[in-house]
Structure 1
Amino acid sequence: MINVPNISLFKGDCLETLSNLDDNSVDLILTDPPYNLANFMKKRQTNLKLMRENFFGAAGWDESEDDDWLVFMNEFFKQSNRVLKKKGNMVVFMSLLRTESLVKIAETNKFYYKTTGIWHKKNPMPRNMNLHFINSTEAWIHFINDGRTGTFNNNGKAIHDYIETSITPKSEKKFISHPTQKPIALMDHFVKILSNEGDVILDPFMGSGSTGVAAKINMRSYVGCEIEDQYFEGASKRISEQLVENSLFI
Structure 2
Amino acid sequence: MNEDIYLYNDNCIKVMQKLPDNSVDLILTDPPYNIGNFMKDRQTNLNRMRKNFFVGAGWDNEDYHDWLGNMTQFFVEAHRILKTKGTLIMFMSVLKVESIIELAQTTGFYYKTTGIWHKTNPMPRNMNLHFVNSNEPWLYFINDGKTGTFNNKGKLELDFIQTSVTPASEKKFGKHPTQKPVTLMDHFINLLSNPGDTVLDPFMGSGTTGVSAVSNDRKFIGIEVSEEYYKLSKRRILNNSI
Q: What interval of TM-score do these two structures reach, taking the shorter chain for normalisation?
A: over 0.9
The answer as to whether partners of 1:49 and 1:55 remain within 8 angstroms in 2 is: no
Q: Aligned partners of 1:8 and 1:204: how far apart in 2? A: 11
Partner of 1:14: 12
Aligned to 2:62: 64
Q: 1:220 is matched with which residue?
A: 218
Alignment of 1:103-182 (within 5 A): 103-182=101-180
Show the counterpart of 2:85.
87
Distance 2:158 2:111 in 1: 16
Which structure 2 segments of 5+ residues have no match?
Answer: none
Report 1:23-34 matches (<5 A).
23-34=21-32
Partners in 2 of 1:49 and 1:236 — Cα distance? 31
Residue matched to 1:241? 239
Q: Deviations over 1:17-68 (max 9, x none)?
A: 1001000000000000000000000011111341334210122211111111
Shift of 1:128: 1.3
Q: In 2, Cα distance between the equivalents of 1:86 and 1:49?
A: 47
Which residue in the other structure is 2:195 paired with?
197
> 1:131: how far off?
1.5
1:127, distance to aligned residue in structure 2 (A): 1.0
Question: In the aligned structure 1, how far is the partner of 2:153 from the partner of 2:51?
Answer: 42
> Partners in 2 of 1:59 and 1:236 — Cα distance?
22
The CA distance in 2 between the partners of 1:61 and 1:24, in whole Å, is 30
> Which letter does structure 2 place at the counterpart of 1:241?
N
Structure 2 partner of 1:47:
45
One-letter code of the match for 1:146? D
Percentage of pairs with the same residue: 58
Take 2:174 and 2:37, find their aligned partners in 1: how far apart are those partners? 25
Q: Distance in 1 between matches of 2:25 and 2:65?
A: 30
- Measured in 2, the distance between the counterparts of 1:76 and 1:15 equals 6
1-side partners of 2:69 and 2:51: how far apart? 30
Runs of 4 or more off by more than 2 Å in structure 1?
none
Alpha-carbon contact 2:119-2:163 (below 8 Å) kept: yes
3-state SS of 1:138 partner: strand
Deviations 1:171-199 (A, max 9, x none): 10111201100000000000000000000
Per the alignment, in what secondary structure is the counterpart of residue 4 of structure 1? Answer: coil
State the TM-score, normalized to the length of structure 2.
0.98
Task: Count matched residues.
Answer: 242
Q: What residue in structure 2 maps to residue 206 of structure 1?
A: 204
Q: Is the 8 A contact 2:51 2:57 kept in 1?
A: no
Distance 1:83 1:8 in 2: 15
Gaps of 5+ in 1: 246-250
Of stretches 45-54 and 83-92 in structure 1, the one that deviates more from structure 2 is 45-54
